[in-house]
Amino acid sequence: MPPSASKSPVHSPPLIVPSLHTHKTTLIVLHGRGFTAQKFAEPILTHPVSSLLPSTTSLLGTLTHPGKVFRDYFPHTKFVFPTAPLRRAVVFQRSLTHQWFDNWSLTQPELKQHLQAPGLRETAIYLHDLLQKEIDVVGPKNVVLIGLSQGCASSLITTLLWEGEPFGAVVGMCGYLPFRKGMLDFATGGEEQEEDPLAESEDMFEREDGDPKAKESDSEKAIRWLREELQAEREKTEKTAPFSFESIPVFMGHGTEDEKVPREIGRLAADFLDTIGVNIEWKEYEGLGHWYSADMLRDVVRFFKGLDGWEDTTDESRTA
């Protein structure tokens, strides 16, 4: 990938929380804009999780064993918390803030979306390196990306641009997908384009067989457009697997009362990922704002229990 026109920001070393027992899996966890690893790590690791067992209603909700928190479900998991570098935020009069990329509006994502490109390109490079380092230790299926808000957006873009072996999964909380509409319009020809009854015959008989774009799927078209928009060159890896994102399951959870990223924006991201062949699970949480909850984390744990290599790391019978 070409360097940014401006000087690339400096990434501080990520915060590492070692596994409680033998290291078998790794979670790379990305915070949202304005946070740091130090501010984000403890709240999510120590947040209560609703019971995975059949619920029993009480005034205190449906929490499982007393004291059972998110980290307790992953005794064999190493947690990696990167911190987004300081970048100038145009919407905040170019003040410096920790963000994975710059953006203008979350309610109207297409406004000034060019602001996102440099940061997303640099963040993808950085996260690809983190992913590969952890994959080299525990294997691709045992590494998962998880992010909140901008962290979710960065995780999704990083996954769409990933060309290594398919890694374990992606978890997005109250997030969205930058450049979704552009990818969708390019892949499908746009909503306003009229159907041409001769288009199928032209596609079948009149294009050159040697043209690499002649037989592109919608997902291939979308990713090619994304790479061109971000000026992201294809990375050369020992085990190249173009479009490996199609083999990477995704879970997205969103609060119905999210005041920063409207749930409709998140749902559109999930719908698009489904359109291009991603195995996507979408959940909404009544009354939840721009954060996570005990119920969302319960569903995240359940999602992990269904992943290859993660079954024994999320055993409900383990005690805190």
Range of the domain at 102: 15-50+68-189+218-234+242-306
Domain count, the chain: 1
Distance of alpha carbon 168 from the chain centroid: 12
Residue 96: partners with Cβ closer than 8 Å, 6 or more residues away: 86, 87, 88, 89
For the chain, how far is it from start to end, CA to CA, in angstroms?
Answer: 44
**314 inside domain:** no
In this structure, the number of other CB atoms found within 10 A of the CB of residue 286 comes to: 9
Whether 318 and 72 have beta carbons less than 8 Å apart is answered as yes
Residue 130: partners with Cβ closer than 8 Å, 6 or more residues away: 14, 28, 80, 82
**204 inside domain:** no
The continuous run of DSSP H or E covering 160 comes out as helix 150-161
**28, 30, 35, 36 alpha-carbon torsion, rounded to 10°:** 30
User: Model's pTM, two decimal places?
Assistant: 0.84
**86 inside domain:** yes
**Which pair of structure tokens corresponds to residue 197?**
């009854």
Tell me how far apart the alpha carbons of residues 109 and 225 are, in angstroms, rounded to a whole number: 17
pLDDT by residue for the chain (320 residues), tens only, comes to 443 344 677 889 999 999 999 999 999 999 999 999 999 999 999 999 998 876 544 444 444 455 689 999 999 999 999 999 998 888 666 668 999 999 877 777 777 788 889 999 999 999 999 999 999 999 999 999 999 999 999 999 999 999 999 999 999 999 999 999 999 999 988 653 434 433 443 343 333 445 555 568 899 999 999 999 999 877 665 666 667 899 999 999 999 999 999 999 999 999 999 999 999 999 999 999 999 999 999 999 999 999 988 876 665 544 43
Give per-residue pLDDT as tens, 129-188.
Answer: 999 999 999 999 999 999 999 999 999 999 999 999 999 999 999 999 999 999 999 998
The three-state secondary structure class of 25 is: strand
Q: Rounded to the nearest 5°, which phi and psi values hold at 25?
A: -140, 160
Sign of the alpha-carbon dihedral angle for 93, 97, 103, 106: negative
**55 inside domain:** no
Tell me how far apart the alpha carbons of residues 138 and 165 are, in angstroms, rounded to a whole number: 13
Distance of alpha carbon 303 from the chain centroid: 15
**318 inside domain:** no
Q: What is the reported pLDDT for 320? A: 36
Tell me how far apart the alpha carbons of residues 35 and 64 are, in angstroms, rounded to a whole number: 29
DSSP readout, 73-110? G-TTEEEEE--PPEEEEGGGTTEEEE-SS--S-SSSTT
Give per-residue pLDDT as tens, 298-317.
Answer: 999 999 999 988 876 665 54
> Which CATH number is 169's domain given?
3.40.50.1820
Longest dimension (CA), the chain: 68
